[in-house]
Amino acid sequence: MFQFAVLGSGSGGNSYWLGSKSNGILIDCGISTKQIRNRMETIGLSLNRIDAVFITHGHSDHIGSAKILHKTLNKERNVPFYMSRGTHAFSVERCLPSKVHHIACGDSITIGDLFIDTFGVTHDAPETLAYRVRNEGLWAGVLTDLGSVTPRALNKIRSLSLLALEFNHDPRMLFEGPYTYSVKQRVASMEGHLSNQQAEDVLAEIASPRLQQLIAAHISERNNTPSLVQRHISSGLRRAGAIHDINVHLAEQNTASPLFSLSGMFVE
């Protein structure tokens, strides 16, 4: 059984767990090690279900607890941490694990019965990576922290049965909100974060019968609302002609999601 859970998603910290019966990985560790442990336990998992950690980029809300988590996980086991060379060079020392495995866009890693595929995305941190993971013919993946979606990224996520997709902000709320103008420009830029409309357009392009679970992720607490996100999701699925049942979940910053399970098999 292929499973997935959001441990936290938003500007305050991000972390996602994916796994099979035998193996599990973490994508990002932007919340504390204590929070990761506690939130995993609320959904019936333990830190022993992390066999590797993959970091998308060097912003603290994605790598903040990597040093402490690495020390905790490696007390009794060898749990590798993967990130790009650009992420390694960009990240502050207090966040970095004592040992890092470098990966690059296009690399693939096998962790037990999980196959991890890496691809690049457009974000204002050097060599930001996104990941999709395969188990028994099913793909799951996380696509957040990007200001635009390239054709290559679109093609990568067409395969997914579970997709965590960024619905970060509503442009009107962003530019009428409290952020400084320079931050507003950064968020809305081609290397910033996806707006609701951009995410809707992605969904309209890639939603297919293979998509079972959609998770709206990295939702801004200041520049977005759940009702706006739901409205854009409904519009995107309608534009895609998605008439099959797709489960939709809005990820939260301070609470773990349920443990989602994928079923069936699609072979590429």
CATH number of residue 127's parent domain: 3.60.15.10
| pLDDT tens, the chain, 268 aa long | 899 999 999 999 999 999 999 999 999 999 999 999 999 999 999 999 999 999 999 999 999 999 999 999 999 899 999 999 999 999 999 999 999 999 999 999 999 999 999 999 999 999 999 999 999 999 999 999 999 999 999 999 999 999 999 999 999 999 999 999 999 999 999 999 999 999 999 999 999 999 999 999 999 999 999 999 999 999 999 999 986 789 999 999 999 999 999 976 544 4
**Residue 268 falls within a domain, yes or no?**
no
**Residue 236 falls within a domain, yes or no?**
yes
Q: Which of 105, 122, 132, 119 is nearest to 211 (CA)?
A: 132
Number of domains making up the chain: 1
Q: Which domain holds residue 223?
A: 2-262
Looking at 160-208, which runs of residues are DSSP E strands? 162-166
**Residue 37 falls within a domain, yes or no?**
yes
- Taking the CB of residue 192, how many other CB atoms lie within 10 A of it? 22
Please say whether the beta carbons of 11 and 221 come within 8 A: yes
pTM: predicted TM-score of the whole model, two decimal places: 0.96
Please say whether the beta carbons of 21 and 262 come within 8 A: no
**Residue 127 falls within a domain, yes or no?**
yes
**Residue 147 falls within a domain, yes or no?**
yes
**Residue 137 falls within a domain, yes or no?**
yes
**Residue 267 falls within a domain, yes or no?**
no
